[in-house]
Amino acid sequence: MTPPFGLDPTHFRLTAAPGSDEDVLIMKVHGFLDYGYADCFLAAATEHLEGTPGLRALHLDCSDLDGLDSMGLAMLLMLHRRTTAAHVTLYLDARPPSLDRMLDITGTLDHLAPHHAATTSGHAEPHRMAYRHTSEDDTPLDRAGQGHRSSGSDSSG
């Protein structure tokens, strides 16, 4: 996927810095995480993950993330699997609204950012589309797909 117009497709960096505690690592993402940089991103993040003994938390600072495509999302999911296997908690910090929207649309927001209500960096909750399941005659359906019927007496006879 090509980054949106105006973004430099050659501009992607991942920088690491120790956190305030020795068991915390902060990695800052810069640029557009797409197919072209996904493997490099995962390799660098995994190298830091494996090269930091006693790590308990990996904070991925997304404040300079310009966007991501499906491959970038796949690499975030793979990094989550690797941190979970290593008993390291992954945090996606300073997520821009566009990232929250991508995670929300794909159903991965609660998976990758289970603490998202407390860490939305001050912006409003993403808009969710309301969808009401109805039958052909516009009668609301329950979870089993059955129409709700009035439990009162039927006046038709």
pLDDT tens string 123-148? 434 334 334 444 556 555 555 555 55
Does 40 score more than 50 pLDDT? yes
C-beta of residue 68 within 8 angstroms of C-beta of residue 34: yes
CB within 8 A of 141, min separation 6: which ones? 133, 134, 135, 147, 148
> The whole model's pTM is what?
0.69
Report the share of the chain in percent with pLDDT over 90: 56
The H-assigned helical ranges of 51-140 are: 70-85, 97-106, 109-112
Other residues' Cβ atoms within 10 Å of the Cβ of residue 106: 13
Give the confidence band of 3 by pLDDT, cuts at 50, 70, 90.
Answer: very low
Q: What is the mean pLDDT of residues 39-56?
A: 94
Question: Which of 68, 19, 60, 12 minimizes the C-alpha distance to 40?
Answer: 12
What SS3 class is residue 3?
coil
Q: How far apart are CA 112 and CA 77, in angstroms?
A: 7
- Both structure tokens of 129: 């589309």
Do 91 and 119 form a contact (C-beta atoms < 8 A)?
A: yes
For residue range 6-19, list pLDDT tens digits in order: 444 457 899 998 88
* pLDDT over 70 percentage in the chain: 67
Q: At 1, which amino acid appears?
A: M
Residue 150 CA to residue 30 CA, distance in Å, equals 57
- 25 confidence band (pLDDT: 50, 70, 90): very high
* Residue-wise pLDDT tens digits, 55-111: 999 999 999 999 999 999 999 999 999 999 999 999 999 999 989 999 999 999 999
Separation between Cα atoms, residue 118 and residue 45, nearest integer Å: 25
Per-residue model confidence (pLDDT) at position 12:
87
